Every structure is written in structure tokens, then in C-alpha cells.
């Protein structure tokens, strides 16, 4: 709620009291009652009720009768809340089971409009709690058992294949207004192999500027030196040192 009402991220603290009041005054799906009623036993006063009217009727109530009616109302409210909580628990269980077994609402078909989540969007934002991590809308071009090939609506972009758990269907009442963030989804794939050049190639100019003829001449001299020292009676270690020198 705070994310939707905040226009300037640095001014979120000015809107927070109004958001807290709206949350406390709104009935919850699990209890069918507002948090204000559960704490104080009566509905909150809305701004429209505080406006003074021309004719205010006096309201008198006996204290004993009020206490009895108040306790009776709380007992009835707790029973209703327990019933709604049980129904809500069953509904949440069905939703969890559908998610674990690939529910029909999570199956995408060709032509569906979807939003794609970008988890790294919150990490790059200075206000991650107020950042939208959904992008789109996209059009499903092809769907498999666990992924879909999508492309952005109204943009000439290359299609990308995304898993179902990163997609959500766009409700029918929402138009095709683009939602764009700072982070772009990169293409996945194996990196290209880089062929490293040899450090020394006698058949071409090397880093020192040696020509091919000069390199071949050095190789012939080294081979002839090795043949000459091979005739002398010496150990293998001495022969190797002589060839190196």
C-alpha cells in the first residue's frame, strides 16, 4: 500500500500515518473484521463521520446495559472471526497445493499477457521496499510445460524464454502501459571460448620482432649444438647444461 501511494521515495514517512489508518480500518480477509475492531471492540471513526452536522441527536445509554451488550458483541465477534479464520486457512491450503502441483492459474497459453519479475531490481534501488520488481507487459508466443517464450508488447525486442515461476498473468482490467525498470534481463547461455595465441611462434613475427628466417636459423644452430655435445662422454645433466649455454 505504501509502495503504491508514494510518489517521491524520500517522502514515505509523510504518507505512513494515512496508510496505517487505512490498514487498521480495513477488514482483513482472514477475520472479516478490521484490526481496530479486534483491539477496541468498535469500528473506527471515518473522516466522513467526524464532519459536524446540523442536527445532532442526543444518545443516552445505561452503563450496565452497555457493558453487557459490549461483552455479548465481543463473544459473537470472536466466534465469527474463528469461523472466518478456518475458512481462510482452508483457502490458503488449497492455494499452496495448487502452487506445488502447477495450478491452472500458473499455466500460460499462447497469447496471454504476463509480467516478468526481475529480482535484482530491488538490489540496485536506493529504496528497495518501494521498488517495483515486475516488468512488462509481455505477450506469450509459445508455452511449454514449465516455461514460456515471451516478447515485450509494443517493442521490437528479441523473444526470451522465462520460467513460469518468474511470470504472472496480467489482469483483464489493466492496459498495456509499459512498466520499465533500470535492470534488463540478460540472455543466458554458455560463454564463447577464447582461443589464446601461443607465446612463441617461430613461423611469424613475435613480440621481439624476430623474422621467420631468423627464428629458423636459431633452431638449426640449437639442433647442431645439441648433436655436437651429444658426442662427448658426459652425464645427462652436464650435457643439458652445455646445450643450454
185, 201 Cβ separation under 8 angstroms = no
The per-residue pLDDT of the chain, averaged, comes to: 73
ω before 137 within 30° of 0 (cis)? yes
Residue 114: strand pairing partners: 138, 169
* 53 or 115: which leads in pLDDT: 115
Q: Judge whether residue 140 has pLDDT over 90.
A: yes
What pTM value is reported for the model?
0.36
Residue 36: strand pairing partners: none
Quote the DSSP letter at residue 154: T
The CATH class of the 105-169 domain is: mainly beta
Q: What percentage of the chain exceeds 90 in pLDDT?
A: 4
Rounded to whole angstroms, how far apart are CA atoms 40 and 6?
Answer: 29
Rg over alpha carbons for the chain, rounded to the nearest Å, is 38
Q: Which three cell numbers stand for residue 34?
A: 478490521
Quote the DSSP letter at residue 32: S
Q: Judge whether residue 50 has pLDDT over 80.
A: no
What would the mean pLDDT of 131-147 be, rounded to a whole number? 85
ω before 231 within 30° of 0 (cis)? no
Amino acid at each position: 500500500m505504501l509502495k503504491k501511494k508514494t510518489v517521491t521515495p524520500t517522502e514515505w514517512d509523510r504518507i505512513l500515518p494515512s496508510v496505517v489508518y487505512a490498514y487498521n480500518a480495513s477488514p482483513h480477509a482472514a477475520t472479516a473484521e478490521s484490526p481496530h475492531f479486534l483491539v477496541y471492540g468498535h469500528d473506527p471513526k471515518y473522516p466522513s463521520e467526524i464532519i459536524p452536522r446540523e442536527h445532532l441527536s442526543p444518545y443516552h445509554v445505561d452503563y450496565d446495559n452497555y457493558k453487557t451488550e459490549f461483552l455479548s458483541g465481543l463473544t459473537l465477534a470472536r466466534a465469527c472471526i474463528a469461523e472466518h479464520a478456518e475458512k481462510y486457512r482452508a483457502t490458503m491450503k488449497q492455494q499452496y497445493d495448487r502452487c506445488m502441483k502447477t495450478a491452472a492459474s500458473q499455466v500460460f497459453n499462447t497469447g496471454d499477457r504476463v509480467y516478468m519479475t526481475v529480482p535484482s531490481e530491488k538490489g540496485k534501488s536506493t529504496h528497495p521496499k518501494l521498488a517495483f520488481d515486475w516488468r512488462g507487459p509481455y505477450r506469450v508466443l509459445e508455452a511449454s510445460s514449465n516455461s514460456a517464450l515471451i516478447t515485450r508488447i509494443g517493442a521490437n525486442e528479441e523473444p526470451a524464454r522465462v520460467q513460469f515461476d518468474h511470470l504472472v498473468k496480467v489482469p483483464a482490467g489493466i492496459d498495456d502501459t509499459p512498466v520499465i525498470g533500470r535492470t534488463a534481463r540478460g540472455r543466458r547461455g554458455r560463454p564463447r571460448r577464447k582461443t589464446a595465441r601461443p607465446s612463441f611462434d617461430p613461423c611469424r613475427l613475435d613480440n621481439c620482432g624476430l623474422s621467420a628466417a631468423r627464428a629458423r636459423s636459431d633452431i638449426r644452430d640449437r639442433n647442431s649444438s645439441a648433436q655436437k655435445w651429444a658426442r662427448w662422454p658426459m652425464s645427462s645433466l652436464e650435457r643439458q647444461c652445455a646445450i643450454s649455454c
